Structure 1
């Protein structure tokens, strides 16, 4: 009788481990295929802004509210439906007339999934970034905690007036808009003059 030798086990693909962590541990929906992306608009929406503008707004977040960094941009998790509220909220806060580098990703959208805690960076994980490697890829500044109801800690418009324990979306958006405007002004002042005219001459 010929002994049967079990086939060697295939190593677990890091993207599979990531998908399992997001779907099984957090209950978040992922987009099929690679690179791994998280569906927005179901369990959460995301506010996306320059990192230097969003940094100051983190004080309005609850301790369990996730924050990720993707290149030079920061993503703050907010309650599902917040993306639809953003344009009206900016108008109400009198920011609507200005062009701000602030956007919300909600229903019908998706974002790049940051590496979960404990998933090592290496060649296999670099492949999922299209060969660009981990540099500029999404990473967690404050990862979600499995087993916790993350949605309960996310900023929401219904928190206006102090109801419930969720942070107030209005304060968060107002701070982010203020900081985005400051960043825009600072960058505009740093640009060299493109006009060939000399000051003081007609």
Structure 2
């Protein structure tokens, strides 16, 4: 009698529905928000997920060729992402607003370098987490030029301590000097601009 009651009560329990797999965009969002504590920017459906810039980090957006040459010279350091023919180097929050003054001080101010600082209020496309399977590395709305980590952030580490900062502002840890990073990147941006200018055919009137 008792056994039959238990059987009936167990059989009457509702069976939970199987959970649907996470959408690639949700996987990306959870990794950034839960593992790194970074902020995602709300976006329209189907658009690539984006990270808020200016809260935990700023960005130097440069031509890919110049960025690769600069990294060879600068060596290991802060996280770096690539998207199509551009590279995004992460720097300490507040660093973007220092870049124009640094370029002037380093005597790069009058030259068109194609070096774009992105700070508070800006955003960058969120690269897929490095451990994500290949099928999920491109979220909806992305194309062949989707953002990828060349040098990813490491969950569990204090990423901000590795970001380039102005030494005068009291940057701690092993963070490289923002002045050196900006000067190195500007040098390679300038070299690429000169090389491309020399490769252009002369125009005769």
Q: Which residue of 2 aligns with 1:15?
A: 25
Deviation at 1:19, TM superposition (A): 0.4
Contact 2:96 2:117 survives alignment (8 Å): yes
Name the CA distance, whole Å, in 1 between partners of 2:55 and 2:75. Answer: 20
Contact 1:66 1:144 survives alignment (8 Å): yes
Q: Which residue of 2 aligns with 1:98?
A: 111
Q: Which runs of 5+ in 2 are unaligned?
A: 1-7
Q: Which runs of 5+ in 1 are unaligned?
A: 197-202
For residue 181 of structure 1, the aligned residue among 178, 190, 193 is 190
Deviations 1:147-188 (A, max 9, x none): 100111111112689975321111111111111011001111
Deviation at 1:74, TM superposition (A): 1.0
Give the alignment of 1:1-202 within 5 angstroms: 4-33=14-43, 34-58=47-71, 59-60=73-74, 62-63=76-77, 65-122=78-135, 125-129=138-142, 132=143, 135-158=144-167, 165-196=174-205
Name the CA distance, whole Å, in 2 between partners of 1:151 and 1:15. Answer: 24
Contact 2:130 2:152 survives alignment (8 Å): yes
Name the CA distance, whole Å, in 1 between partners of 2:147 and 2:136. Answer: 16
User: For residues 78 and 23 of structure 1, do their structure 2 counterparts lie closer, same or farther at Cα, with a shift above 3 Å needed?
Assistant: same
Name the CA distance, whole Å, in 1 between partners of 2:133 and 2:127. Answer: 12
Contact 2:61 2:89 survives alignment (8 Å): yes
Deviations 1:15-52 (A, max 9, x none): 11110100110011110234210001111001111111
Q: Which residue of 2 aligns with 1:200?
A: none
Contact 1:23 1:30 survives alignment (8 Å): yes
Name the CA distance, whole Å, in 1 between partners of 2:33 and 2:168. Answer: 28
Name the CA distance, whole Å, in 2 between partners of 1:116 and 1:181. Answer: 32
Number of matched pairs: 191
Q: Which has the larger radius of gyration?
A: 2
User: For residues 100 and 166 of structure 1, do their structure 2 counterparts lie closer, same or farther at Cα, with a shift above 3 Å needed?
Assistant: same
TM-score calculated relative to the size of structure 1 = 0.86
Contact 2:81 2:152 survives alignment (8 Å): yes
